[in-house]
Amino acid sequence: MTTEQANDTPRDVWADDRLGRKPYADFLTTYLRNRCVTERDGAQTLTPFCISIDAKWGEGKTFFLQTWMAALQQEARNPVFLFDAWTSDFDTDPIVAFMAAFKHALDAEIKKLPVAFEAEKALADGVRKLGKAVMPTLKALGRAVVEKHAPGFIGAVADIATESESSNDGETRLDEQLDSAKDTVSEALFKSLLAESTKRKALIADFRKEIERTLRYLADNSAVELPMFVFIDELDRCRPTFAVELLEGLKHVFNIPGLCFVVATNIEQLAHSVKAVYGEGFDGTAYLQRFFDVGYKLPQQDPTKYVVVK
């Protein structure tokens, strides 16, 4: 064999697989492809799917995900994307952090196309719509609505609160001012939030359509096939609020045909994160079941197979 031929030989990405995980990855690849894409009468149906890969800390989840992803990249059939949740844990908005990384991955696939304009436009439209849907906070919205429907109300309350420091009746005046404006502001706030919620749902629905259109364009105009595998790692190491908000956002925003989510985590620890957010009496394990279509327990291996005794 010549040196040139040797260099063309694909690298064995599973060469360091001392735990024997490759058969599990091969099985899951076939299983997930069949769950996400079905063909009937020449028509292809895409189904969003999410699977959890459950294993305790130190049992090789990260190696398994990274190597599985490398094997898929080597095969060059399905687009892949790995989101390390732990590295984005400092971000205040998990969905925005995820979207930034997700867009980067899709951009890389789009750039491989000879003519990428349509896919770029669909992705840009989707990101713009999602940005409009997720960026405003309810707190900021509430203040804006109060100012719109009760001009000067917040400033007046601030003035009264200041006066209360030197006036005995300041607290009484504040209560009266609040009571007089409460009904008007509450009704206006409710109507505005209702309208905002309806608009937000529409924007998210449009976002899903644009991303699905981008994925289908990639599949129709390049060598890749769907689904796109989205691997998420280190979720159980994140702040409880970040982990829960990311899962909830993925379920409600990214439940998109053509995407297959593979979340490697310690379900037991993640259930504790759910309890930290919703209360100790909350059933965190049952709550997590709503996010995953199926769970897969990564089999434990005999440690004597990889422990080297000197």
212-236: pLDDT as tens digits: 888 888 888 877 899 999 999 999 8
The whole-chain average pLDDT of the chain stands at 78
Handedness of CA 109, 113, 119, 120 (dihedral sign): positive
Reported as type and span, the H/E element at residue 303 is none
Assign 292 a pLDDT band (cuts: 50, 70, 90).
very high
**Residue 113: DSSP 8-state:** S
**CATH class of the structural domain 1-77+225-310:** alpha beta
Alpha-carbon span 32 to 262, nearest angstrom: 10
* Among 87-101, 150-164, 181-195, the range of highest mean pLDDT: 87-101
Neighbours of 178 (CB within 10 A): 13
Alpha-carbon span 181 to 150, nearest angstrom: 8
Q: Is the separation of the CB atoms in 231 and 262 below 8 Å?
A: yes
In terms of Cα–Cα distance, which of 204, 182, 202, 70 is closest to 134?
A: 204
Neighbours of 302 (CB within 10 A): 9
> Which residues lie closer than 8 Å to 153 by C-beta, 6 or more apart?
146, 147, 181, 185
In the chain, DSSP finds a helix count (H) and a strand count (E) of 11, 7
pLDDT of residue 152: 45
* Domain ranges for the chain: 1-77+225-310, 113-221
pLDDT of residue 271: 92
For residues 169 and 54, which has the higher predicted lDDT (pLDDT)? 54
